Chain A
Amino acid sequence: EIVLTQSPGTLSLSPGERATLSCRASQSISGNFLAWYQRKPGQAPRLLIYRASNRATGIPDKFSGSGSGTDFTLTISRLEPEDFAVYYCQQYGSSPAYTFGQGTKLEIK
């Protein structure tokens, strides 16, 4: 099983700042099948990034993903109030086919 470790657990920033979230895999993720999601209370997760660096449909370009192998990053530039949420990374490939990180809570400083 590929374990995804996200850091930091909580990130406190102010609107207008840049957020950098990390996701590290216990093994290399084949094909870079790594996605990022935003989760707000009471809502379903929202797909932001797929295959490490591709923005999903309708996602603004302030969200960007990078990385390969075992180290991946989600960057959110110019934070706005609606960006404060919990962010999860997720991999596809090894059994179990899909695993998620434990999440990074992005909170307003």
Chain B
Amino acid sequence: QLRLQESDSGLVRTSQTLSLTCAVSGGSISRAGYSWSWIRQSPGKGLEWIGNIFHTGNTYYNPSLQSRVTISVDRSNNQFSLKLTSVTAADTAVYFCAREGGFGMFDYWGRGTLVTVSP
């Protein structure tokens, strides 16, 4: 059974960089045919796709966040990471990592981690 677990970032100061890691177990992150995404949900709002990374290392980002986002992969530790720079209160959200298993569907998700941005 594939499992995804986000690291705990907790509190991030305004204008600083948010960093999260998603540890994948029960399957290889390098397996072809899948991509690995970050998705967030701000309080009282809907879900927003941030970006993803493929087994090739290719990345794609939501244009609304592209200038501030970097997603990378650490194959040796079977995990992938998110960096979001210059954060503001609007970046306060629960951040999820998820696998896209084909047909555009997210079939495995982490439990999510709450990141709060404060002054």
Contacts and interface: CB of A to CB of B under 8 A. Distances in A.
A31 B85 CA distance: 35
A45 B109 contact: yes
Interface string B16-57: 000000000000000000000101000001111100100000
Interface string B98-117: 10100111110111100000
Interface size classification for chain A: 20 to 34
Contacts, number: 69
A98 B112 contact: no
Nearest to A51: B103
Given A100-B49, A101-B46, A102-B46, A56 B106 contact: no
A103 B42 CA distance: 13
B119 interface: no
Nearest to B64: A96
B109 A44 contact: yes
Contacts of A47: 105-107
B49 A99 contact: yes
Contacts of B48: 100
Contacts of B45: 102
Interface string A72-109: 00000000000000001011110111111111000000
Contact of B46 (A44, A88, A93): A88
Interface of B: 37, 39, 45-49, 52, 60, 62-64, 96, 98, 100, 103-107, 109-112
